[in-house]
């Protein structure tokens, strides 16, 4: 296990089946079939039971900026423990550097407009969110279902949209090699046009969480 919420390109590429997007702008990877269907279904059930309206840091006044529902999943639940095990295995990051797993549910018309997962160093809420555990380092996102329309994850600077597939992992480094935040990580959870979309997100920090 690594410290400080750090994974590495070599660690990730050593995992069977993982693919890196060929760009020098950002470290970003995907892995199909990362999470088994039964586990995805269990986590969907948890999200349905515990969801609430999503919020954002540094509120920009746009009430339609993030319209999904969300929940922090209980660490002691068996499906969460299993997902944490899978994530630790692929990332090499000690779970103590991770925020609680967050589930998201997108209904028709819901989206999360273009945003970064790191906290803006000059943002009004930077100290509030980063004074204890530090900045976010890596994002690991798992699509839990398919069969809906829309809902891709678009990275505008890369001119790339990742399409949801049940059990697929998408992960990226929110920082450059010098440790500064990487604006290329700006991404858009696009509108769902039909059906429901379920996603899990795991964010890691520079210091231990909590």
Q: What is the DSSP secondary-structure string of 141-194?
A: EEE---SSEE--EEEGGGTEEEPP-TT-EEEEESB-TTSSB-GGG-EEEPPEEE
**For helices 78-91 and 37-50, angle between their N-to-C axes, nearest 10 degrees:** 120
Cα dist. 90→3, 87, 125, 151 in Å? 15, 5, 31, 25
pTM: 0.94
- Superfamily (CATH) of domain 9-205: q2cbj1_9rhob like domain (2.60.120.620)
Whether pLDDT at 13 is above 90: yes
Interval 78-89 mean pLDDT: 97
Whether pLDDT at 31 is above 90: yes
For residue 84, what pLDDT is reported?
A: 97
Whether pLDDT at 104 is above 90: yes
For residue 58, what pLDDT is reported?
A: 58
Length of the chain: 210
Q: For 154-204, write each residue's pLDDT tens digit.
A: 999 999 999 999 999 999 999 999 999 999 999 999 999 999 999 999 999
**Terminal Cα-to-Cα distance of the chain (whole angstroms):** 19
Burial class (CB in 10 A: 0-12, 13-18, 19+), 38: exposed
In a 3-state reduction of DSSP, which class is residue 78?
helix
Cα dist. 44→54, 80, 176, 202 in Å? 16, 11, 33, 15
For residue 12, what pLDDT is reported?
A: 97
Average pLDDT for the chain: 94
pLDDT band at 2 (very low <50, low <70, confident <90, very high): low
Interval 16-45 mean pLDDT: 98
For residue 80, what pLDDT is reported?
A: 98
Interval 151-155 mean pLDDT: 98
Q: For 105-142, write each residue's pLDDT tens digit.
A: 999 999 999 999 999 998 888 999 999 999 999 999 99
Whether pLDDT at 18 is above 80: yes
For residue 54, what pLDDT is reported?
A: 82
pLDDT band at 4 (very low <50, low <70, confident <90, very high): confident
Interval 67-75 mean pLDDT: 94
């Amino acid at each position: 296990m690594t410290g400080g919420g750090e994974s590495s390109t070599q660690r990730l590429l050593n995992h069977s089946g993982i693919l890196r997007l060929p760009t020098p702008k950002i470290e970003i990877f995907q892995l199909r079939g990362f999470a088994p269907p039964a586990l995805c279904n269990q986590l969907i059930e948890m999200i349905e039971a515990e969801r609430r309206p999503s919020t954002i840091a540094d509120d920009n006044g746009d009430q339609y900026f993030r319209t999904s529902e969300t929940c922090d999943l209980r660490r002691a639940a068996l499906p969460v423990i299993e997902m944490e095990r899978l994530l630790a295995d692929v990332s090499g990051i000690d779970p103590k550097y991770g925020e609680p797993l967050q589930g998201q549910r997108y209904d028709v018309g819901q989206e999360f407009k273009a945003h970064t997962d790191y906290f803006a160093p000059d943002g009004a809420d930077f100290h509030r969110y980063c004074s204890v555990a530090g900045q976010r380092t890596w994002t690991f996102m798992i699509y839990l279902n398919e069969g809906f329309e829309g809902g891709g994850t678009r990275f505008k600077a890369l001119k790339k949209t990742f399409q949801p597939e049940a059990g697929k992992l998408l992960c990226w480094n929110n920082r450059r090699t010098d440790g500064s935040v990487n604006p290329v990580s700006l991404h858009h959870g696009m509108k769902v046009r039909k059906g429901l979309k379920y996603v899990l997100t795991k964010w890691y920090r520079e210091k231990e969480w909590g």
